[in-house]
């Protein structure tokens, strides 16, 4: 049986677990394995070409060169690759990814890196500057997210650490709740309760730390459902989490209601503000009223906020914050019996690059509150324009009530064909599923004159193209279509693993 026919078989639809078992058996049969490999290769071959566009431009190295290349030759190759890629994101045709991108800002970051490129926070005795930077990054982020009011109203002592990105911040927060539960004498296995739209980093934390992740369906507005999440709490629940805003649809979950629920049940509550913390904290600059989502709420016990997104620091830094120091201590790792000496690590990594920490500190100090307010105003105003423009396009509908991360779907055209058509026009957008949709995360690249108009003009043309049975080479559309419709998740997982394999093929 062809793999394509297998996917269309009613058995697949009715009994995906049986199909998972059947596929696992088929992959042990050489002939069947070859057919499965051929099907995946056909699906992924266009992406293979996309991943290696420099095959005829820059030499491919699958072994060390016998003689090292001259610095000017290496730099010339880097210049060519950087030139091609900068042309794409600098015009504002990429969703998220590059959040600032200004030339003066990039030059400033380069100067900071030049001064701290050799540093490592693992050795604070050698580089005490990095300890200063990290402490002040945490303090500034905490102040931005309600620490002062939390101290005055609830006696909180908000603290935290700097991490490599939002995923590590979330991983560490969930590890912290697990380790606190163990220290309290509770016995696992433990679980956390999150909305289905929560970032995949929560699933990753569950896989890494042996925590069951209960993913609760969201309401018709794509926001977390407090009643459904309340029903999922058990004596084994150690924490709840929600988003401000969610990555898929850009909507803010009912943080106040959920955090009060967590407090009443004496469990932790994590606000994932990785994507939006630096915008929501200054949304009043655009006349946007945002419901409380931070430490001003007594039930919020931890937060994550990415400084390398709308904090405009280079990749990769983030901050994980806790309501008090006692909770933060469960994040640390210490080793007292290692022959190599006394060892401690506040985050997952041991050695860490110090330059991104210095760049983050320098960015926050250079931007200041007024700089972040101005940026938030521009992004929210542009987001409003783009949302209204999408709503005016026949055949498209905006999902939920977003501010600047705007997801749209369609009941009239295949939205993945729209995604494909936008790609041919030079736009790199995010395809999502459950339900099928596409989103644009507005950044400072999009607020420049003409970019929003160009996006809406191309989107209208792409919808019409999709409506007319589009032609052209397909890459992402069939993959997203398969991921959205095939209930056999192991098959989708196999496709993703093969894609990751492609990333590491020279």
**Among residues 41, 253, 295, which one has the least CA distance to residue 156?**
295
Say if residue 174 is in the same domain as residue 51: no
pTM of the model: 0.89
Is 113 among the domain residues?
A: no
Measured distance CA(398)–CA(411) in Å, rounded: 12
Residue 106's alpha-carbon distances to 7, 85, 372, in angstroms, are 48, 15, 17
pLDDT tens digits along 138-180: 999 999 999 999 999 999 999 999 999 999 999 999 999 999 9
- Domain hosting 336: range is 128-363
Q: Is residue 63 part of a domain?
A: no
> What token pair was written down for 29?
């049969």
Higher pLDDT: 471 or 76? It is 76
Q: Are 208 and 201 in contact (CB under 8 A)?
A: no
Inside any domain, residue 462 = no
Nearest to 143 by CA among 129, 156, 130: 156
Q: Say yes or no: 347 and 249 in one domain.
A: yes
| Displacement of CA 299 from its chain's centroid (Å) | 24
Domain limit, last residue, from 342, 363, 384: 363
Helix (H, G, I), strand (E, B) or coil at 144: helix
Would you say residue 75 lies in a domain? no
One domain for residues 21 and 135: no
How much of the chain, in percent, has pLDDT values that exceed 90? 77
Q: Is 370 left (phi over 0), alpha (psi -120 to 50) or beta?
A: alpha
Q: Are residues 171 and 31 in the same domain?
A: no
* Region 55-60 average pLDDT: 87
pLDDT digits (tens, 9 = 90+) for 201-217: 999 999 999 999 999 99
Q: How confident is the model at residue 6 (pLDDT cuts 50, 70, 90)?
A: very low
Residue at 383 is within a domain: no
Which pLDDT score, from 0 to 100, does residue 485 have? Answer: 47
Q: What pLDDT digit, counting tens, does each position of 321-336 carry?
A: 999 999 999 999 999 9
Residue 26 has what pLDDT? 60
Higher pLDDT: 471 or 116? It is: 116
The verdict on 50 and 160 lying in the same domain is no
Pick from 318, 340, 363: which residue ends a domain?
Answer: 363
Do residues 479 and 43 make contact, with C-beta atoms less than 8 angstroms apart? yes
Residues 6+ apart with CB under 8 A from 232: 193, 214, 216
pLDDT computed for residue 149 by the predictor: 96
How many other β-carbons are positioned within 10 Å of the β-carbon of residue 48? 12
- Which residue shows structure tokens 């959040």? 99
Angstrom CA distances, 298 to 11, 240, 275, stand at: 50, 14, 22
Q: Cα(385)–Cα(217) distance, rounded to whole angstroms?
A: 30
pLDDT digits (tens, 9 = 90+) for 223-277: 999 999 999 999 999 999 999 999 999 999 999 999 999 999 999 999 999 999 9
* Residues 49 and 138 occupy one common structural domain: no
Q: In the prediction, which pLDDT does 87 show? A: 84
Asked whether residue 49 is domain-assigned, the answer is yes
Q: Read out DSSP for 414-482? A: -HHHHHHHHHHTT-B-EEETTTTEEEEE--TTTSSTTHHHHHHHHHHHHHHHHHT---S--SHHHHHHH
DSSP state of 398: E
What CATH number should be reported for the domain holding residue 135? 3.40.640.10
Helix (H, G, I), strand (E, B) or coil at 3: helix
Reduced to 3 states (helix: H, G, I; strand: E, B; else coil), residue 488 is coil
Instruction: Give the Cα separation of 356 and 163 in Å (integer).
Output: 10
Residues 6+ apart with CB under 8 A from 144: 277, 278, 281, 305
**pLDDT, tens only, 81-98:** 999 889 888 889 999 999
pLDDT of residue 365: 98
pLDDT of residue 401: 96
Model confidence at 55, in pLDDT bands (50, 70, 90)? confident
pLDDT band with cut points at 50, 70 and 90 for residue 305: very high
Secondary structure of residue 128 in the 3-state scheme: helix
The residue ranking higher by pLDDT, 383 or 485, is 383
**Bigger pLDDT: 364 vs 19:** 364
The two beta strands, 191-195 and 343-345, are unpaired
Cα–Cα nearest to 98, from 484, 506, 366, 447: 447
Residues 185 and 304 grouped into a single domain: yes
pLDDT in tens, 410-424: 999 999 999 999 999
Question: What pLDDT was estimated at residue 11?
Answer: 42
Place of tokens 């196999």: 494
pLDDT tens per residue, range 393-442: 999 999 999 999 999 999 999 999 999 999 999 999 999 988 999 999 99
Do 52 and 135 lie in one domain? The reply is no
Residue showing tokens 């609830």: 154
Tell whether 146 and 261 lie within a shared domain: yes
Number of compact structural domains in the chain: 2
Do 137 and 280 belong to one domain? Answer: yes
For the ranges 17-26, 91-100, 212-221, 346-355, which has the lowest average pLDDT? 17-26
23 has a pLDDT exceeding 70: no
Q: Does 231 map to a domain? A: yes
Concatenating the DSSP letter of every residue in 290-333 gives: ----STTSTT--EEEE-TTTTT-PPSS-EEEEESSHHHHGGG-E
Residues 32 and 155 reside in one and the same domain: no
Residue 219 lies in a domain: yes
Contacts of 109 (CB under 8 A, 6+ apart): 314, 359, 362, 363
Three-state DSSP at 483 gives: helix
Is the domain of 52 the same as that of 136?
A: no
User: Tokens 């380790």 correspond to what residue?
Assistant: 179
The last residue of one of the domains, among 302, 335, 363, is 363
Return all residues near 363 (Cβ < 8 A) that are at least 6 apart.
105, 109, 307, 311, 312, 313, 314
Which residues have CB under 8 Å from 414's CB, separation 6+? 436, 466, 477, 481
Q: Are strands 318-322 and 333-335 parallel, antiparallel or unpaired?
A: unpaired
Q: Kindly report, residue by residue over 460-503, the tens digit of the pLDDT.
A: 999 999 998 655 545 455 455 545 544 445 667 777 788 788 88
């Amino acid at each position: 049986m062809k793999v394509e026919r297998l996917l269309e078989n009613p058995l697949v639809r009715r009994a995906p677990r049986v199909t998972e078992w059947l596929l696992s058996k088929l992959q042990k049969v050489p002939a069947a394995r070859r057919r499965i490999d051929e099907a995946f290769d056909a699906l992924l071959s266009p992406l293979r070409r996309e991943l290696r566009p420099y095959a005829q431009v820059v030499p491919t190295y699958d072994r060390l060169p016998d003689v090292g290349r001259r610095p000017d030759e290496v730099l010339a190759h880097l210049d060519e690759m950087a030139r091609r890629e900068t042309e794409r994101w600098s015009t504002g045709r990429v969703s998220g990814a590059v959040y600032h991108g200004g030339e003066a800002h990039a030059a400033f970051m380069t100067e900071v890196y030049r001064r701290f490129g050799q540093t490592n926070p693992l050795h604070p005795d050698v580089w005490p500057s990095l300890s200063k930077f990290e402490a002040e990054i945490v303090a500034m982020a905490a102040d931005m997210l309600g620490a002062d009011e939390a101290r005055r109203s609830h006696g909180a002592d908000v603290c935290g650490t700097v991490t490599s990105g939002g995923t590590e911040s979330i991983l560490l927060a969930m590890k912290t709740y697990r380790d606190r539960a163990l220290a309290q004498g509770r016995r696992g296995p433990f679980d956390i309760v999150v909305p289905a739209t929560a970032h995949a980093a929560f699933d990753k934390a569950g896989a890494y730390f042996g925590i069951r992740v209960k993913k609760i369906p969201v309401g018709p507005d794509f926001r977390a459902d407090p009643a459904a999440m309340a029903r999922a709490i058990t004596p084994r629940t150690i924490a709840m989490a929600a988003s401000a805003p969610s990555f898929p649809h850009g909507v803010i979950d009912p943080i106040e209601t959920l955090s009060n629920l967590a407090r009443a049940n004496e469990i932790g509550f994590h606000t994932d503000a990785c994507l939006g913390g630096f915008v929501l904290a200054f949304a009043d600059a655009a006349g946007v009223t945002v419901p409380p989502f931070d430490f001003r709420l007594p039930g919020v016990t931890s937060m994550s906020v990415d400084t390398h997104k709308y904090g405009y620091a280079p990749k990769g830094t983030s901050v994980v914050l806790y309501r008090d120091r006692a909770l933060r201590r469960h994040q640390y790792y210490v080793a007292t019996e290692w022959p190599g000496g006394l060892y401690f690590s506040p985050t997952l990594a041991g050695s860490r690059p110090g330059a991104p920490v210095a760049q983050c500190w320098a960015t926050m100090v250079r931007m200041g509150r007024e700089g972040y307010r101005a940026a938030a105003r521009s992004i929210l105003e542009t987001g409003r324009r783009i949302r209204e423009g999408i709503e005016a396009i026949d055949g498209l509908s905006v999902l939920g009530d977003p501010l600047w991360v705007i997801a749209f779907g369609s009941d009239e055209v295949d939205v993945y064909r729209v995604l494909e058509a936008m790609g041919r026009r030079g736009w790199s957008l995010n395809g999502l599923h459950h339900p099928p949709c596409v989103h644009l995360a507005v950044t400072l690249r999009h607020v420049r004159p003409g970019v929003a108009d160009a996006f809406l003009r191309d989107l209208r043309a792409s919808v019409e193209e999709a409506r007319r049975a589009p032609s052209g080479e397909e890459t992402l559309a069939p993959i997203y279509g398969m991921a959205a419709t095939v209930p056999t998740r192991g098959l989708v997982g196999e496709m993703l693993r093969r894609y990751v394999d492609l990333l590491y093929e020279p």
